[in-house]
């Protein structure tokens, strides 16, 4: 392992929610939750204001609403997040040719390979400069961890949150890791954590004390040996430059076998939604849907279905995964479920009829899908009843948080819709909190718009 803390881990703080707060002046300093807003939606990111109430990523959206009913609930705007991510990754590549993105908002950087740092002082200087550059270019905050290995750099960035920098001095790693939960180590999820707990091991220090043989007995040769090495702060994994993904997938292993067929269907639907979140975060769509099922006897089955064209529509992926499940016998119980997408592309070719049906259903749901339609205290809401040309409702879907432009009122974003009305707040990243107005959903002067940049480029002010 290195003797200097020249591996950097960057993690943007509450990325989606922070981007929405930066884009929407009326939401700054308030609880914001981004994710799927439907009945099976889950939280993708929550602002720090929402986290104070217990909201966290992967939480069912219904539970989040019960914890913070007055938060702003928004659907993701991946075009905006990708644009910001491209800016951040460009800054990282100025530091080193070895940049390993983990997601839109997270990456490792080998500073030594870039020749910009070779000791503690130079690494600290690079980290501070990077944080300042990210804030200047994007307006957002990122937390930076510096250490001699990838595992420790990631732990350091987590401890630096929010909007901070943490450097782990080489030689102090064992003392730092010892009292921490085993869940801090890569590869230790809920199932492995519970398995270790049943063996009397709850901290990283206890893993080191147990010894490699005991870890191998509990977890098997590969996993046990790797975990023991990490508990001793040994991590030789190199930073690997970005490689093109061939597939995107998610899977869950369950502590107890699932026997209820209804629950199995629900888990598959949830996994499909998570898979699409990752697919969109990577900027891809995919043509082939894959279902993985490991049964009670450890036999593993995979089923796949190839669509007519690539998609990143959660409804399409969910329905395909459900169809694949119908061909799998789950009698006896299920230990693991997974949903994946292969045949990746950077464009979509949707089934327009199915898409129109989904939009019509969303509009028909009316009040159940309305988000934030009442104006906050102190802000007047105005209803604009102007004649509009007849536009079939199925062609219009106003998702909470998405950008719109009105011919008279300019740029704004959707606060909510339902019962044939759409509520819009007119403001931009550089404006004061804007006014709320309500329109018919088929108002001809109201159209979808592209996200505005969070920071005005030099020379374009005014």
Among all residues, which ones are annotated catalytic?
106
Residue 22 near residue 12 (C-beta atoms within 8 A): no
Is 246 strand, coil or helix? coil
Residue 304 near residue 321 (C-beta atoms within 8 A): no
Q: How far apart are CA 462 and CA 456, in angstroms?
A: 9
Task: Name residues whose C-beta falls within 8 Å of residue 163's C-beta, 6 or more positions apart in sequence.
Answer: 13, 131, 141, 142, 143
Q: Please state, in angstroms and as integers, the Cα–Cα distance from residue 17 to each residue in 30, 32, 156, 339, following that order.
A: 10, 6, 22, 26
Q: How far apart are CA 394 and CA 137, in angstroms?
A: 39
What is the phi-psi region of residue 220: left when phi exceeds 0, alpha when psi lies from -120 to 50, beta otherwise? left
Q: How far apart are CA 146 and CA 119, in angstroms?
A: 11
Q: How far apart are CA 91 and CA 85, in angstroms?
A: 10
Task: Name residues whose C-beta falls within 8 Å of residue 256's C-beta, 6 or more positions apart in sequence.
Answer: none
> What's the start-to-end Cα distance of the chain, in Å?
52
Is 383 strand, coil or helix? strand
Please state the length of the chain.
Answer: 462
Q: With b meaning 16 or more CB within 10 Å and e meaning fewer, what string describes 26-42?
A: bbeeebbbbbbbbeebb
Long-range contact set of residues 372-377: C-beta below 8 Å, sequence gap at least 24: 372/72, 372/73, 372/400, 372/415, 372/416, 372/423, 373/415, 373/416, 373/417, 373/418, 373/421, 373/423, 373/438, 375/423, 375/436, 376/26
């Amino acid at each position: 392992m290195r003797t200097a803390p020249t591996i950097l881990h960057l993690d943007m703080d509450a990325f989606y929610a922070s981007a929405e707060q930066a884009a929407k002046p009326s939401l700054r300093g308030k609880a914001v939750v981004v994710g799927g807003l439907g009945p099976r939606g889950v939280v993708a990111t929550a602002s720090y204001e929402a986290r104070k109430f217990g909201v966290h990523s992967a939480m069912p959206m219904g539970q989040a609403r019960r914890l913070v009913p007055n938060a702003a609930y928004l659907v993701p705007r991946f075009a905006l997040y990708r644009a910001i991510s491209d800016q951040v990754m460009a800054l990282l590549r100025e530091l080193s040719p070895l940049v390993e993105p983990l997601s839109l908002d997270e990456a490792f950087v080998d500073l030594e390979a870039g020749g910009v740092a070779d000791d503690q002082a130079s690494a600290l200087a690079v980290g501070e400069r990077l944080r300042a550059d990210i804030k200047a270019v994007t307006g957002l905050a990122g937390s930076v961890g510096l250490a001699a290995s990838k595992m420790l750099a990631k732990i350091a960035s987590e401890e630096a949150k929010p909007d901070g920098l943490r450097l782990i001095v080489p030689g102090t790693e064992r003392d730092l890791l010892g009292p921490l939960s085993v869940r801090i180590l890569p590869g230790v999820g809920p199932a492995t954590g519970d398995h270790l707990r049943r063996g009397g091991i709850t901290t990283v220090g206890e893993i080191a004390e147990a010894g490699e043989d005991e870890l191998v007995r509990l977890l098997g040769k590969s996993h046990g040996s790797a975990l023991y090495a990490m508990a001793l702060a040994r991590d030789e994994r190199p930073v690997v430059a970005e490689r093109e993904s061939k597939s995107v997938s998610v899977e869950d292993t369950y502590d107890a076998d699932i026997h209820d067929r209804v629950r199995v269907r629900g888990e598959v639907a949830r996994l499909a939604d998570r898979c699409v979140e990752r697919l969109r975060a990577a900027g891809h769509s995919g043509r082939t849907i894959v279902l993985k099922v490991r049964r009670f006897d450890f036999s593993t089955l995979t089923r796949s279905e190839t669509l007519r064209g690539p998609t990143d529509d959660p409804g399409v992926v969910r329905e395909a995964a459900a169809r694949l499940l119908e061909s799998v016998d789950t009698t006896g119980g299920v230990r693991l479920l997974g949903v994946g997408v292969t045949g990746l592309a950077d464009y979509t070719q949707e089934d327009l009829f199915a898409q129109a049906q989904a939009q019509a259903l969303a509009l028909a749901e009316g009040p159940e899908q309305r988000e934030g339609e009442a104006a906050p205290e102190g802000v007047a809401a105005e209803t604009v009843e102007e004649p509009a040309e007849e536009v079939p409702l199925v062609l219009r879907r106003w998702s909470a948080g998405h950008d719109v432009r009105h011919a008279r009122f300019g740029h704004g974003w959707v606060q909510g819709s339902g019962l044939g009305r759409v509520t819009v707040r007119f403001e931009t990243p550089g404006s004061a909190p804007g006014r709320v107005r309500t329109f018919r959903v088929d108002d001809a002067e109201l159209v979808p718009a592209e996200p505005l940049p969070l920071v005005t480029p030099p020379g374009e002010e005014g």
